[in-house]
Structure 1
């Protein structure tokens, strides 16, 4: 017979008191009206978002303020003023060109009608809302277990996602990735969101492809799984939108598809630390030339095979969150250029690993915690700091500099592990049954 030490007894007693207080607070909040609970959720999310927002919109240098949303806005200005879209640059010192298809410039016209200072703040609020929506749709299996505390659960799960390095980087630059991830997630998630009852699957992926090309990996996923209708819908939507943009902006369309698209230098230095794709990793550490190109293609083939096989298994198992997470990682790892903020997909990865009930499998919670903690860190920039010290071992600095590439591969491995802990629930050619029923949005 063992006797607990006083310290252990005190710790257990303190833990019981904390849990009791938590249950008491939860019971009180659950008794509030729905409007009050949602108001509390909004306050919690905004309070949590204040950390990256204050850093990047208040205390950040003005010459780096919301530089990417400025690029979008200037494209809208170009259309309204008649200047060439793809030769215009933002103001010095950034001098950034517009790098997206003409359709993205068309939908940026409303940004040109609002002063830039207001656009930066409104865009930031939209990114926060989009990230909260990603948490809602990716974490619905877990969130809906909390009953009347759903709004507070959503808020508490959203806040740490806003602190992830890729997400906060999107807030820093005023990026579009949150909306791309949300569109693809809503399009593939099962049960299908009620907002999309009358919208065929594939439309949102097609629209996302018309704004950025990387969501095209979802069409590859459709084709590999013989989901012909969804693939045709996505491609058809993208083609229709692109042709419409061509009729509206013929000169800009020729400039993009005939020149700007083939110029990788427009995206920035491909070998820079921010490019955390496999190709970016190889450009930094070598080898270069033909050997480097061949090695890149081999690695792309291997990682692509694993990633799309994982997405296929998730689809066949009825786990649409893991499916989206795996394909999203392919959009980053396989792309020639994938900036750190493109890893907004990690929000989906975290909830795919968590699953529906992580309290019944604490290892899932630990794995999701590992992914979250990894991407809370700004390790690529730690690597730059390390490499600035010539006397320190350079290999450690190189590992840190390429940490998000390794983290993406780690996330892919944890997705595989988590999915293999879940027994397949279906194997059917119909993507609607039994998990395709509409649910309230």
Structure 2
């Protein structure tokens, strides 16, 4: 009871601090929340009948540097509540939602020492970067976790994953997870929700929908930043290594997906759905064409899962503190001239995920081989 009280006080203090930041920045006229400003500008474009995939006219250049709207039209419809708020309070809404979402996820993963896990979260680079940008990744992660690890059976299971995918396409990776774990009805429900939301976007915003699904979704505007250190994906790592051909990326992505599918089935067979879900999330981050460091917010449930293993917890905390990424030269394509040590540090998230995945896969294969009954000698 005392621990729960401390946790609630900590959450209240965090929300109060975020509110103070928003109010002070609002009174001072200083911009706040790069990505939340883009979400709000997209919603305002819908209300004003302006194109989504042209320069956003409602975007304040001081706060978001003319960033494009890179989400499906259905996402702009879901962002409409942000349009009625001043930009600073749109950021505050997402920041508070992220804090509550992170606690919701932590409760399901940190069976041991949840208070210690909660105290570690502000140290994680994906957490503070997500909140400072006003990103929605934490809320989307909580939606996936609530669907994938329900406290009780729900007839609507799968809907939240479908809605998350309607905001960002990357949560679609959890549909195969549902199929692999035998939850076919939930998988079909997630797909139906995603397709329904996309259809609603097409009906309400037909021009933007045609533009998104035929060209904007594949727009190469981020190609110049693929080698930036903050893109912690396989694609980004190979770009920093100078491998401009997509062959290496495609081959490693296919291998990761295959190993990930085997591990998901194995963890499901062993009755460990949390590990199976984290494997799926890790695969999605690795194979995505772009995985900015704030997309690695799945470090939060990982920290929770490891809360009872001190050595593993320390290692994960060290990796996702972002210290390794902060000490390497970055920006202006300086990543292309890294030495071997800088290459290891600058790809810390990717290499750590690959190393853990390789160890888990080898252990799974060895266990499977040892579990086979020996053939009788005739």
Secondary structure in 1 matching 2:199: helix
Equivalent position to 2:8, from 29, 42, 66: 42
Gaps of 5+ in 2: 368-378
Alpha-carbon distance, 1:174 to partner: 0.8
Equivalent position to 1:206, from 150, 155, 162: 162
Per-residue deviation, residues 84-107 of structure 1 (Å, max 9, x unmatched): 122133332511111111111011
CA change 1:63–1:285 in 2 (3 A) is farther
Structure whose CA Rg is larger: 1
Distance 2:139 2:51 in 1: 26
Aligned length: 361
User: CA contact under 8 A between 1:325 and 1:346: conserved in structure 2?
Assistant: no
**Aligned residue number for residue 178 of structure 1:** 138
**Aligned residue number for residue 437 of structure 1:** none
Distance 1:270 1:386 in 2: 11
Secondary structure in 2 matching 1:137: helix
Distance 2:17 2:346 in 1: 24
Equivalent position to 2:294, from 327, 341, 348: 341
**Aligned residue number for residue 164 of structure 1:** 124
Map 1:73-88; keep pairs closer than 5 Å: 73-88=40-55
Distance 1:63 1:95 in 2: 17
Per-residue deviation, residues 123-144 of structure 1 (Å, max 9, x unmatched): 21111111111101222x33xx
Provide the TM-score with structure 1 as the length reference: 0.73
User: CA contact under 8 A between 2:127 and 2:297: conserved in structure 1?
Assistant: yes
Secondary structure in 1 matching 2:50: coil
Distance 1:53 1:413 in 2: 43
Equivalent position to 1:238, from 188, 191, 194: 194
CA change 1:267–1:287 in 2 (3 A) is closer
Per-residue deviation, residues 344-364 of structure 1 (Å, max 9, x unmatched): 11112223344xxx3xxxxx3
Distance 1:346 1:214 in 2: 16
Map 1:14-163; keep pairs closer than 5 Å: 30=1, 38-45=4-11, 47=13, 65-89=32-56, 90-92=59-61, 94-139=65-110, 141-142=111-112, 154-163=114-123
User: CA contact under 8 A between 1:276 and 1:405: conserved in structure 2?
Assistant: yes
**Aligned residue number for residue 371 of structure 2:** none
Equivalent position to 1:295, from 248, 261, 273: 248
**Aligned residue number for residue 184 of structure 2:** 228
Distance 1:343 1:214 in 2: 12
User: CA contact under 8 A between 1:304 and 1:330: conserved in structure 2?
Assistant: yes
**Aligned residue number for residue 367 of structure 1:** 312
CA change 1:267–1:76 in 2 (3 A) is farther
Alpha-carbon distance, 1:407 to partner: 2.4
Alpha-carbon distance, 1:181 to partner: 1.1
Q: Kindly report the root-mean-square deviation, in angstroms, between the aligned alpha carbons of the 2 structures.
A: 3.5
Distance 1:395 1:365 in 2: 29
Secondary structure in 1 matching 2:173: helix
Distance 1:389 1:52 in 2: 35
Alpha-carbon distance, 1:217 to partner: 1.1
Provide the TM-score with structure 2 as the length reference: 0.84
Distance 2:134 2:246 in 1: 32
User: CA contact under 8 A between 1:187 and 1:205: conserved in structure 2?
Assistant: yes
**Aligned residue number for residue 373 of structure 2:** none
